[in-house]
Structure 1
């Protein structure tokens, strides 16, 4: 007589429910910052238990990005306070289509187990039907704490009228992120852009629901021909978007008080 097998125990899981569109935009914006090579080829998800909010983070050698979002529900084990999704999985998650009831925003569920993550439809019409399971790495790849990096940058920013001198690559990345996730952007200079060899040009870009730092370290042999923009009010810079969430009415605007392009170029 064969021995009876013990029933297989169900894996312990955490569950977080967010608004699908908001999460997908944050995930795709993070994909603009993440890279295709390790350790930057992941998007990190962080659960803030105290605030009951979710953070979507990405890092590369020159930039750190964090998006913040509220949740509909969060029941998260200590094991799952931080987990990561491979960059190559973003397209598959973004392609998921959730049917929604009239006047309701679709909801997305993140069910997190020790070795896998399941993305589910939590909107009502597709619960238990539309889902995608992806593997979860047992190790955290991204170095440091992206959220703390942003907090430290914001705390150290000098609100005086420093000249904001972004390099094209910095503006290009900030623009790509803003176009994906939306919102108006405030730029702050975290270090005066002088003596680039020892003092890299570092910017803090922030909006209603996200922030990022971007650093440029050009060759010290190259003459800096970028125009100088002096920002008096630390207000918003461009990038209007429908997802502005009414911030325009409450956030001070930016006043450009001087522009000194090289050789008189506009």
Structure 2
């Protein structure tokens, strides 16, 4: 008789989950880092969702009502962008007469799949969609460390934003729909510009290119990992932009 492997389960607020996934999909690089990373933090009551491209790092924290990680394999897990898109599009609607309630989604994590479920009203435990889980982790480093480093970095009041930075910052800010701050930071040596976009429950850092000199080719093709910020990571704290548990998102 086959033994079923343990399954972790997370219940979170649907709108916050959807926004985090949509923003992560805007940041993610389809060719270089074609996955979205999930990192449950039961001690903080949140689920971190991260994405990476060769110049940008994004992380959002989604408040949870339940964060039961029962196996070490589920402490960090990923899925392809196409699978994350299915999760982001999974519809959850409140039933009539449910004023004051908040739409909730569940994530059931197995060894080879992730299932998003309706945890609201009449659809509890019935409506669901299952996607494939990556067998291996693809995204390097820790997104929260990169964002924490950026938060602690000095500002550069003479810096400028480049069009690609402006476009990505604008798209992510619009999707997340929160009050936010935009700070131009002192960039690592050779990098033209570095910007930090931060809201109550998310952060995005984005650089623009690398300067070229006559002796060294430091082209834009050199990717930045979560931890490749050019600044030493001295903060031991994890990302604390966890916010509260708002009824209709964070303003």
**TM-score, normalization by structure 2:** 0.78
Displacement of 1:96: 2.1
1:158 match: secondary structure: coil
1:139 match: secondary structure: coil
For residues 85 and 153 of structure 1, do their structure 2 counterparts lie closer, same or farther at Cα, with a shift above 3 Å needed?
A: same
Maintained 8 Å contact 1:184/1:244: no
Q: 1:98 aligns with which of 92, 96, 102?
A: 92
Displacement of 1:152: 1.6
For residues 23 and 187 of structure 1, do their structure 2 counterparts lie closer, same or farther at Cα, with a shift above 3 Å needed?
A: same
Runs of 5+ unmatched residues, structure 1: 1-6, 222-242, 247-266
Distance in 2 of aligned mates of 1:185 and 1:98: 27
Distance in 2 of aligned mates of 1:145 and 1:245: 24
The match for 1:169 is 164
Q: Which runs of 4+ in 1 moved over 6 A?
A: none
Residue 245, structure 1, aligned to residue 245, structure 2: no
The match for 1:111 is 108
Maintained 8 Å contact 1:162/1:192: no
Maintained 8 Å contact 2:25/2:85: no
Q: 1:216 aligns with which of 202, 208, 221?
A: 208
Maintained 8 Å contact 2:183/2:197: yes
1:72 match: secondary structure: strand
Displacement of 1:50: 2.7
1:71 match: secondary structure: strand
Distance in 1 of aligned mates of 2:37 and 2:175: 18
Maintained 8 Å contact 2:42/2:68: no
Residue 206, structure 1, aligned to residue 198, structure 2: yes
Number of residue pairs the alignment of both structures matches: 213
Q: 1:16 aligns with which of 5, 10, 18?
A: 10
The match for 1:235 is none
Q: 1:124 aligns with which of 121, 124, 133?
A: 121
Q: 1:68 aligns with which of 44, 61, 67?
A: 61
The match for 1:47 is 40
Maintained 8 Å contact 1:15/1:112: yes
Distance in 1 of aligned mates of 2:250 and 2:115: 29
Displacement of 1:92: 2.0
**TM-score, normalization by structure 1:** 0.74
Structure scoring higher RCO (CA < 8 A, sep ≥ 6) equals 2
Query: RMSD between aligned alpha carbons?
Result: 2.1
The match for 1:254 is none
Runs of 5+ unmatched residues, structure 2: 214-247
Displacement of 1:129: 1.9
Cα deviation 1:169-220 (Å, max 9, x = unaligned): 1010010111111113312222169xxx824311111111110100002665
Distance in 2 of aligned mates of 1:219 and 1:188: 21
1:65 match: secondary structure: strand
Displacement of 1:99: 3.7
Maintained 8 Å contact 1:19/1:105: yes
